[in-house]
Structure 1
Amino acid sequence: MKYYIFRIDYTNLSYFKERLEKGILRQGWGVKGLSLVDEKGNKRNKKEWVDSCPENWRKTENERKYLERKFDNLNKMREMKKGDIIVIPKFPEWDMLSIYRVKGEYYFDLEEGQEDYGHCIPVEPATIDDNEKDKCFKYNSNNESKEIHSKLRGYQTSINSVNDNGVKEAINELLKKISDIGEYSVIDLLKNTFEKTIDEKNKEGKIFSIRNNEVEEVVEEIFKKQGYILDDKNFYDKKGGDVDRLFIKYLPILEEVNNEITSCRIYVQIKKKEGICDEEEGIDQLEKIVDTDIKEEIKIINGEKIYPNGIYKVLVCTGKFSQRIEEIARDRGIILIDGSQLIRLCLKNL
């Protein structure tokens, strides 16, 4: 029996809930023509699969290499066998995890009217008796769910094989337990209501119905309130690199013990966009401007760029990032702040 941690597109949670109720766990990067198997059920050639991806996904060599890694990652679904265990974090709510058991083999089925999520694996809740409908736990329900939650940072791709024995043991113990979502306190209920209200209001597109430069000013004020110093704004390198704000924060305590650590630099690109953001432009702009701005500090080791400590790249969007962009940003070391998170930061800091 193998164990997997499976991340879904959390921007479309209700869709995944409905499909899981029908026994189907779906995954993104499954647009038309991107089945992992051919008509005979055999694994597709990696290059041919990458060539089948939408053209705007594979404009550069780096993007093609990323798609090759994505193909390998998605193929973990083909490796899943009946009886294997899947843990879905942040599901059915943001502070919970759910456990499912694989029932069958991978197949591709793009639903009518749906542009993505064609990769499918049949599953069922990993329950222990007929009276139990689901297998889910709040992160703080017990020691086992706390153990899994504490290790999730090490499982950031869409589909992750679990090799950590501590995580495997925790999952096995949870399989023996009855679901426990705990009791929601008044604070929990208020927080959940607040979170849903923010998401709903942001989807309406009314909160950030202001000019682009005003959104930039809002972001600037948030950073300033937290002690960051504005070092520069709206500069570009005429090579495609662009940043809306550059902040510096001095670190006197760390400098006391290590004089090589004096400050951190935050490069921020801000996009005013309603709905789902599935464009890589902001990511590319950040990478290019950082490469230009600190080119003398970047080291090349075995063909890989090694950036100095204290350099952070942040992409802000007033809408919602697609699952594809979230994964690309994680892979390229870029921090994302979406519209709902930006609203929370406004409420906290302004």
Structure 2
Amino acid sequence: MPETEDSGARKNLSMYHNVKKGDILLIPRLPDWGSVAIAEAVEDWNDKEKGYRFEIDDEKKDFGHIFPANYIGCFNRHGKDVSGNIQSTLKARNRFWNISRLSEDVEKIMKNLEGNKESTSVIENIKNIVSEQVKPYFNLKECCDQIVDEYNQKFTASQWEDVLKNVLEKIYPGYEIEKRGGMKEEEHGTDLLVVISGLSNSEKYNIAIQVKNYKGEISDDNVNNIIEQINKAKGYKWENDGKLIDQILVMTSSKKEENPKLIEECKKKDIKIIFSEELKNLIFKSIIESIDLKEIFDEMLQE
């Protein structure tokens, strides 16, 4: 609800305010991993009587979130009738985003669905089945640990900014990721600036990121210096006139359990922290977006 103080719930406010009756919604990963469901909103999301309800459906026993919508059909995200623009926007990791600029691409998919609820061919379904069965055979954590260990050996503190920029660009292709180091960093305390466009192109939202390559427990003096540095982003006048919506501290090598003092101080200033374990997950997601699995499988079969 709009009056909630829960930061996680407030991330859903864009749905509450902007989903209206008749809107077409794309829902990734439904009904299976490689598919995208298409639905039409039956009511306004914020209609208090007929719209979204936070309750469990008596019949379906679902997750406690109900919104009335008509199921139109589903398509394979890599299908022949899916444009590059659609494939790109489906890689976004945020909970909800506006795709009105892709209305023609969506209409083409829906036209191909006429008379058939699914646009997936037998070949596309084979790909979905194979990908689902292959995943359990990879030790993803071990693989990611080894990759990040190599990163830590080869990259200096300043190079980690480039690493993180590359990671975020792979995971969030719709965001602008800017390196902001240099002389003005003394004023804004930001290594990377993530810029998100609002519903109108002139509306911008900024996320300030500070990257630190410290190991182990951070001393009290360094904790204070880190907080003071990244907190400068709050009072800075950004060139794009964007609103600062988040401050994130990335600790490339430090672990959460080693730094209760840093966590406590960052919480006071509403600064989020990404420690090494969570960073590994982000890095691995970016790798999956960029590697050529066919080349890897070919090498495995030749061994």
Q: If the TM-score is normalised by the length of the shorter chain, which range does it land in?
A: 0.3 to 0.5
Between the two structures, name the one with larger relative contact order (CA 8 Å, sep ≥ 6).
1
Richer in helix (by share): 2
TM-score, length-scaled by structure 1: 0.41
Richer in strand (by share): 1
